[in-house]
Chains A and B, each alone.
Chain A
């Protein structure tokens, strides 16, 4: 069965610090998809990134970067120079077919 573990339940940093959110997944499939979503205090879910299992290239989008390593079954998310607006709960998710399994989320608080 597929499973996603986000071991960090809460992280608190001061503005401008870099922060990495960990995500470890389990799957028996060779084809799968990984996602990160952001849930700000307003409650909606914002899609951040999708990665398929055949693409291990790291990705950078502005202050956000993702490190996908199949050898360790990890898909970590780094925010560089964090800002107060980054405060949210961040969810990692895994999809093998249709249904998506979410980790428990990491609550990030960025203090000014």
Chain B
């Protein structure tokens, strides 16, 4: 049973470009979560999605950031017009649909904005 998959593992972008981060949940998991980890800090919740639905985006910056989880394919976290402050590790997690279930994390995408 494959774990949560994220790609790319490392992404370098110049200021003003777009970053697209992909996440495929574990088989049987219908819920996806995105977290951001700034250097030397803990993880901060960004957004929680089900297929075709954003359930909670309270941790997502209001501008430039968006997330989707289409009916087919991986979840995508999109950052438009990246700035240096967006440099961080972005982790995706997935879980079964029940409340309180363990979230299993992918290996993360390290985004570096030059």
Contacts and interface: CB of A to CB of B under 8 A. Distances in A.
Partners in one complex: yes
Nearest to A6: B42
B-side binding surface: helix, strand, loop or mixed?
strand
Given A33-B100, A101-B45, A44 B55 contact: no
A30 to B, nearest CB: 13
A37 B105 contact: yes
B33 A43 contact: no
B102 A50 contact: yes
Nearest to B43: A102
Interface of A: 31-33, 35, 37, 43-45, 47, 50, 52, 91, 95, 97-105
Chain B, interface size category, equals 20 to 34
Contacts of A99: 33, 45, 48, 56, 58-59
Contact of B31 (A50, A98, A104): A98
A98 B56 contact: yes
B99 A97 contact: yes
B49 to A, nearest CB: 10
Nearest to B3: A44
A6 to B, nearest CB: 8
Contacts of B102: 35, 47, 50
Given A98-B33, A100-B45, 5 more contacts: A31-B100, A97-B99, A98-B31, A98-B99, A102-B42
Contact of B104 (A33, A47, A95, A98): A47
The 7 closest A-B pairs by CB, nearest first: A45-B105, A33-B100, A104-B42, A102-B42, A102-B43, A99-B45, A44-B107
